[in-house]
Structure 1
């Protein structure tokens, strides 16, 4: 018996933190705005749509954002406010389905194959959810609808802000074929560069590549790339899945040969972790450094703190302290990553003033 196609919705709030700030402070409406902690080494957590034409976006260092947009208003994040809005948003989701998988405070997957209400049309349910969110919070949301998580998330990124995109089964092949590989969720700039070196720039070319060849080049991720190129994703929506860790990794086309070269990449990795922690409203008690070498060996080093950290400079400095010259031992670093674990809500356990006092290091 043929399985019934699933109906998956991916909902992503529009410039969430900035939109909450503009909603709550009329003086910020219509103005370029960035949500970021103060300090030259801070990064932008969210930029309002008025700031984006200036090239201001999330993960951009704050000093660069101010250079690009001298009139930029900067406000520090208020996670208690964001969590309260997120609670209202999730109550709207629960009206239609118990199968809700939150990815962060402002993003979630919903399985509406057999909804509680709203009828059989996933498109109409997505419309109703967007209307319910606006009614409950005064904020706009963008939604994507399709038959699996990968396609639903791809759809939600196509028509922001305040949009709704549906990818029907009959449209999948043609749509994926014409996309650049960098538009596939999970393929970052470094991987796109490696694919480009193989002569693969488009979805059509990725679809034409053999799975065995991709696995040879990319290991287990090669299977993932082959599957998403064909629109395949059988992951279920997992309700109330707690975040155990949040991390960012980079794979390098040219191996990093010195400790200084690896250290130079840590701030970029830390900014990625900060951004993901911020979206989830979380901080970390444990920071993990991961290195994969040219001989395929993988090692990790970790440090556990009495307090919790969530800002990129702190994460990068902790990772740098875990990175010792003896770890490389003459080997090239093919991949580096920073992971935050031991997660808790921001503000629940404040960072300690003596950041590096009383730490538990584990080699």
Structure 2
């Protein structure tokens, strides 16, 4: 979906249409969840602090998030997907992979199916969607961003090599800011540069991710579309309006977080063994501490007890601006197949206080 949260807000509030808006980020410590395309022209983007967003775009309008509404629209969109195939792998509320090799419409053209789906989404929700079509998830993912907003891109088998070779390295799925900087230092700026590096070179410099990069630039990606993705972790965090240094206040906040996690665990009917405490200090340095238990837990009391132990494990270095707890090593892990791409499958569930 194109600027999904922001587009839903503009759809529901006509006075916001055509204006630069940001969902979230309105408070002193707020972070932007989504930005309209009118705001993106000024450099505003998701995960940016509200203060910076306002500086870049002085006339920016901040809107409170409404995730119940976003989920409602997301369900409408997914119903459309299932009209075409049961092989739907949701990545988030606004994005999914579809395998239409064999589809319910009997349509041999994935390109035409994508066009139909986008038209139905527009007709039923009033929102624009973009699509990428190719022989595997990796290439389709890259192609989906190619003609945004409200467009689609098909990369045919014979075009894959030239398409990936011409691609700027930051466009490769799985190459984040830190990895890109490292690649720049090694003289890798495009897919063509990456393709010239040997498997041994990439493995030496990027470890287990090396073979993934070696295959990806050659269009090799064997991960199937998985209709039932297994959650690998579940967590919640809170950014404070003012930095806190008192452990009493920290424990109070952790109790609220543990309570929220318990609620989500019960809803998902899962439990986990590994508790991770996340601490972001006032200087923005991020620290995590983990402990793996010998048994599965799902109660607020046990989660909080372990989080307390982790909190006291080391002396606090500074005042704290964010605390978070996550539970991993879930009792669903036995069903997990390791994907062949070096991405972090950590699912962070944020909530408002």
Question: TM-score when scaled to structure 2?
Answer: 0.70
Partner of 1:160: 148
Q: How does 1:279-318 map to 2 (within 5 A)?
A: 287-288=276-277, 301=290, 306=300
Partner of 1:313: none
Structure 2 residue 24 is the aligned partner of structure 1 residue 50: no
Paired with 1:228 and 1:32, the residues of 2 have a C-alpha distance of 36
Partner of 2:188: 200
Provide closer, same or farther for how the CA distance between residues 196 and 37 of structure 1 changes in structure 2, counting only shifts above 3 A: closer
Is the contact made by 1:118 and 1:125 (CA closer than 8 Å) also made in structure 2? no
1:16 positional shift = 0.3
Partner of 2:53: 65
Partner of 1:24: 12
Q: Deviation digits for residues 13-53 of structure 1, max 9, x if unmatched?
A: 00000000000011111111000054211110000011111
Structure 2 residue 190 is the aligned partner of structure 1 residue 190: no
Paired with 2:91 and 2:313, the residues of 1 have a C-alpha distance of 30
Partner of 2:130: 142
Structure 2 residue 55 is the aligned partner of structure 1 residue 84: no
Is the contact made by 1:118 and 1:124 (CA closer than 8 Å) also made in structure 2? no
Secondary structure at the counterpart of residue 158 of structure 1: coil
Higher relative contact order at CA 8 Å, sep ≥6: structure 1 or structure 2?
A: 1
Partner of 1:36: 24
1:191 positional shift = 0.9
Superposition CA RMSD, Å:
3.3
Q: Deviation digits for residues 79-118 of structure 1, max 9, x if unmatched?
A: 1100000000000000000000000000000000000115
1:324 positional shift = 3.6
1:306 positional shift = 3.7
Paired with 1:91 and 1:100, the residues of 2 have a C-alpha distance of 10
Paired with 1:246 and 1:187, the residues of 2 have a C-alpha distance of 24
Match of 2:107 among 119, 122, 129: 119
Runs of 4+ in 1 over 2 A off after TM superposition: 242-247, 285-290, 302-307, 320-327, 338-347
Provide closer, same or farther for how the CA distance between residues 120 and 211 of structure 1 changes in structure 2, counting only shifts above 3 A: same
Structure 2 residue 209 is the aligned partner of structure 1 residue 221: yes
Secondary structure at the counterpart of residue 37 of structure 2: coil
Provide closer, same or farther for how the CA distance between residues 108 and 322 of structure 1 changes in structure 2, counting only shifts above 3 A: farther
Paired with 1:117 and 1:79, the residues of 2 have a C-alpha distance of 32
The unaligned stretches of length 5 or more in structure 1 are 1-12, 248-281, 291-298, 308-317, 328-337, 352-363
Partner of 2:228: 240
Secondary structure at the counterpart of residue 130 of structure 2: strand
